[in-house]
Amino acid sequence: MNLITVFEIIGTAAFAASGATVAIGKQMDIFGVAILGMTTAVGGGMLRDVLINAAPPSALVDPLYALMAVLVSLILFSSSVRRKIARGSEKKEVIMLIADSIGLGVFTVLGAEKAYTAIPDVNVFTMVFLGCITGVGGGVLRDVFAGNRPYIFVKHFYATACIIGALVFSILRPHFGQSSSMLLGGAVTLVLRLMAAHYRWSLPRAS
Protein backbone atom coordinates (compact mmCIF):
# COMPACT_ATOMS: atom_id res chain seq x y z
CA MET A 1 0.00 0.00 0.00
CA ASN A 2 1.60 3.28 -1.12
CA LEU A 3 1.46 6.68 0.57
CA ILE A 4 -1.20 8.05 -1.81
CA THR A 5 -3.57 5.19 -0.95
CA VAL A 6 -2.99 5.63 2.79
CA PHE A 7 -3.67 9.36 2.53
CA GLU A 8 -6.81 8.77 0.46
CA ILE A 9 -8.19 6.32 3.03
CA ILE A 10 -7.47 8.66 5.96
CA GLY A 11 -8.82 11.72 4.17
CA THR A 12 -11.96 9.95 2.98
CA ALA A 13 -12.80 8.66 6.45
CA ALA A 14 -12.10 12.04 8.08
CA PHE A 15 -14.14 14.12 5.63
CA ALA A 16 -16.97 11.58 5.63
CA ALA A 17 -17.10 11.86 9.42
CA SER A 18 -17.24 15.66 9.26
CA GLY A 19 -20.03 15.57 6.67
CA ALA A 20 -22.04 12.98 8.58
CA THR A 21 -21.62 14.95 11.82
CA VAL A 22 -23.05 18.08 10.16
CA ALA A 23 -25.95 16.04 8.75
CA ILE A 24 -26.72 14.52 12.15
CA GLY A 25 -26.67 17.98 13.69
CA LYS A 26 -29.23 19.04 11.08
CA GLN A 27 -31.36 15.99 11.99
CA MET A 28 -31.23 14.55 8.47
CA ASP A 29 -32.43 11.04 7.74
CA ILE A 30 -30.09 8.15 6.99
CA PHE A 31 -30.01 8.96 3.27
CA GLY A 32 -29.11 12.58 3.94
CA VAL A 33 -26.34 11.58 6.33
CA ALA A 34 -24.86 9.16 3.79
CA ILE A 35 -25.05 11.66 0.92
CA LEU A 36 -23.53 14.51 2.93
CA GLY A 37 -20.72 12.27 4.16
CA MET A 38 -19.98 11.02 0.65
CA THR A 39 -20.19 14.50 -0.90
CA THR A 40 -17.74 15.91 1.65
CA ALA A 41 -15.30 13.04 1.09
CA VAL A 42 -15.18 12.95 -2.72
CA GLY A 43 -16.52 16.36 -3.76
CA GLY A 44 -13.21 18.23 -3.73
CA GLY A 45 -11.46 15.55 -5.78
CA MET A 46 -14.24 15.55 -8.34
CA LEU A 47 -14.03 19.35 -8.71
CA ARG A 48 -10.25 19.06 -9.18
CA ASP A 49 -10.61 16.35 -11.84
CA VAL A 50 -13.16 18.42 -13.76
CA LEU A 51 -10.80 21.42 -13.74
CA ILE A 52 -7.87 19.43 -15.13
CA ASN A 53 -10.11 17.60 -17.61
CA ALA A 54 -9.49 14.20 -16.02
CA ALA A 55 -12.72 12.62 -17.22
CA PRO A 56 -14.46 10.79 -15.78
CA PRO A 57 -13.47 11.87 -12.24
CA SER A 58 -11.52 9.28 -10.27
CA ALA A 59 -14.34 8.90 -7.73
CA LEU A 60 -16.54 7.54 -10.53
CA VAL A 61 -13.86 5.30 -12.02
CA ASP A 62 -13.09 3.72 -8.64
CA PRO A 63 -16.17 3.92 -6.37
CA LEU A 64 -14.31 2.35 -3.42
CA TYR A 65 -13.77 5.69 -1.67
CA ALA A 66 -17.35 6.84 -2.17
CA LEU A 67 -18.57 3.55 -0.69
CA MET A 68 -16.10 3.89 2.18
CA ALA A 69 -17.47 7.37 2.88
CA VAL A 70 -21.02 6.01 2.96
CA LEU A 71 -19.94 3.25 5.37
CA VAL A 72 -18.29 5.74 7.74
CA SER A 73 -21.42 7.91 7.59
CA LEU A 74 -23.67 4.96 8.42
CA ILE A 75 -21.47 4.04 11.39
CA LEU A 76 -21.88 7.57 12.75
CA PHE A 77 -25.63 7.33 12.11
CA SER A 78 -25.95 4.20 14.22
CA SER A 79 -28.10 4.89 17.27
CA SER A 80 -25.35 4.53 19.89
CA VAL A 81 -22.90 6.82 18.09
CA ARG A 82 -25.61 9.27 17.05
CA ARG A 83 -26.80 9.66 20.64
CA LYS A 84 -23.28 10.47 21.81
CA ILE A 85 -22.88 13.10 19.10
CA ALA A 86 -26.29 14.62 19.77
CA ARG A 87 -25.79 14.65 23.54
CA GLY A 88 -23.61 17.74 23.53
CA SER A 89 -22.82 20.44 21.02
CA GLU A 90 -19.28 20.73 22.42
CA LYS A 91 -18.49 17.10 21.63
CA LYS A 92 -19.93 17.51 18.15
CA GLU A 93 -17.77 20.58 17.54
CA VAL A 94 -14.63 18.71 18.64
CA ILE A 95 -15.38 15.78 16.33
CA MET A 96 -16.11 18.18 13.50
CA LEU A 97 -12.90 20.17 14.05
CA ILE A 98 -10.58 17.16 14.24
CA ALA A 99 -12.14 15.29 11.32
CA ASP A 100 -12.33 18.36 9.13
CA SER A 101 -8.75 19.40 9.91
CA ILE A 102 -7.37 15.95 9.09
CA GLY A 103 -9.35 15.83 5.85
CA LEU A 104 -8.23 19.34 4.94
CA GLY A 105 -4.55 18.53 5.41
CA VAL A 106 -4.72 15.22 3.57
CA PHE A 107 -6.74 16.34 0.57
CA THR A 108 -4.77 19.56 0.17
CA VAL A 109 -1.55 17.66 -0.51
CA LEU A 110 -3.34 14.99 -2.55
CA GLY A 111 -4.67 17.72 -4.85
CA ALA A 112 -1.29 19.37 -5.16
CA GLU A 113 0.37 16.01 -5.85
CA LYS A 114 -2.22 15.29 -8.57
CA ALA A 115 -1.35 18.61 -10.20
CA TYR A 116 2.37 17.83 -10.00
CA THR A 117 2.05 14.43 -11.65
CA ALA A 118 -0.79 15.10 -14.13
CA ILE A 119 0.08 18.52 -15.59
CA PRO A 120 3.20 18.96 -17.75
CA ASP A 121 5.39 21.91 -16.72
CA VAL A 122 3.18 22.59 -13.71
CA ASN A 123 3.91 25.72 -11.67
CA VAL A 124 3.57 26.55 -7.98
CA PHE A 125 0.36 28.54 -8.47
CA THR A 126 -1.39 25.60 -10.15
CA MET A 127 -0.31 23.16 -7.45
CA VAL A 128 -1.50 25.49 -4.68
CA PHE A 129 -4.76 26.27 -6.48
CA LEU A 130 -5.65 22.63 -7.14
CA GLY A 131 -4.51 21.65 -3.65
CA CYS A 132 -6.90 24.19 -2.16
CA ILE A 133 -9.77 23.18 -4.45
CA THR A 134 -9.32 19.56 -3.41
CA GLY A 135 -8.99 20.48 0.27
CA VAL A 136 -11.95 22.83 0.62
CA GLY A 137 -14.23 21.73 -2.24
CA GLY A 138 -15.99 18.91 -0.41
CA GLY A 139 -16.49 21.05 2.68
CA VAL A 140 -18.02 23.87 0.64
CA LEU A 141 -20.48 21.43 -0.96
CA ARG A 142 -21.27 19.99 2.48
CA ASP A 143 -22.05 23.39 3.94
CA VAL A 144 -24.14 24.48 0.96
CA PHE A 145 -26.18 21.27 1.05
CA ALA A 146 -26.64 21.66 4.82
CA GLY A 147 -27.77 25.28 4.48
CA ASN A 148 -24.75 26.73 6.30
CA ARG A 149 -22.36 29.48 5.29
CA PRO A 150 -19.26 27.63 4.03
CA TYR A 151 -16.42 27.27 6.54
CA ILE A 152 -14.05 28.72 3.97
CA PHE A 153 -15.70 32.15 4.30
CA VAL A 154 -16.39 32.42 8.02
CA LYS A 155 -14.20 30.07 10.06
CA HIS A 156 -10.89 31.39 11.35
CA PHE A 157 -7.85 30.68 9.22
CA TYR A 158 -9.39 27.83 7.24
CA ALA A 159 -8.51 28.29 3.57
CA THR A 160 -5.36 30.19 4.60
CA ALA A 161 -4.01 27.07 6.34
CA CYS A 162 -4.78 25.16 3.17
CA ILE A 163 -2.89 27.67 1.00
CA ILE A 164 0.18 27.62 3.27
CA GLY A 165 0.25 23.80 3.43
CA ALA A 166 -0.08 23.51 -0.36
CA LEU A 167 2.67 26.11 -0.79
CA VAL A 168 5.00 24.14 1.51
CA PHE A 169 4.30 21.00 -0.52
CA SER A 170 4.83 22.80 -3.85
CA ILE A 171 8.19 24.21 -2.80
CA LEU A 172 9.46 20.93 -1.37
CA ARG A 173 8.11 18.49 -3.98
CA PRO A 174 10.73 18.98 -6.73
CA HIS A 175 13.58 18.68 -4.24
CA PHE A 176 12.52 16.17 -1.57
CA GLY A 177 10.18 13.79 -3.39
CA GLN A 178 6.63 12.67 -2.84
CA SER A 179 6.62 11.22 0.68
CA SER A 180 8.45 13.96 2.58
CA SER A 181 6.67 16.82 0.80
CA MET A 182 3.22 15.30 1.31
CA LEU A 183 3.82 14.53 4.98
CA LEU A 184 5.19 18.00 5.71
CA GLY A 185 2.61 19.88 3.64
CA GLY A 186 -0.27 17.94 5.20
CA ALA A 187 1.14 18.37 8.71
CA VAL A 188 1.53 22.13 8.25
CA THR A 189 -2.10 22.45 7.10
CA LEU A 190 -3.38 20.31 9.98
CA VAL A 191 -1.35 22.07 12.68
CA LEU A 192 -2.22 25.56 11.44
CA ARG A 193 -5.92 24.70 11.30
CA LEU A 194 -5.95 23.28 14.84
CA MET A 195 -3.88 26.16 16.24
CA ALA A 196 -6.15 28.68 14.52
CA ALA A 197 -9.19 27.08 16.14
CA HIS A 198 -7.53 26.93 19.56
CA TYR A 199 -6.12 30.46 19.56
CA ARG A 200 -9.01 32.00 17.61
CA TRP A 201 -6.85 33.29 14.78
CA SER A 202 -9.00 35.17 12.34
CA LEU A 203 -8.62 37.11 9.14
CA PRO A 204 -10.12 40.64 8.94
CA ARG A 205 -13.81 40.50 8.15
CA ALA A 206 -16.57 42.91 7.20
CA SER A 207 -18.33 44.38 10.23
Q: Where are the domains of the chain?
A: 3-199
Model pTM?
A: 0.92
Instruction: Write down the mean pLDDT value for the chain.
Output: 92
Mean pLDDT, range 62-75, rounded to an integer:
95
Angle between helices 124-146 and 89-118 (to 10 degrees): 150
Confidence of residue 70 (pLDDT cuts 50, 70, 90): very high
| Cβ atoms 116, 129 nearer than 8 A | no
Q: State which H helix or E strand residue 188 sits in.
A: helix 159-199
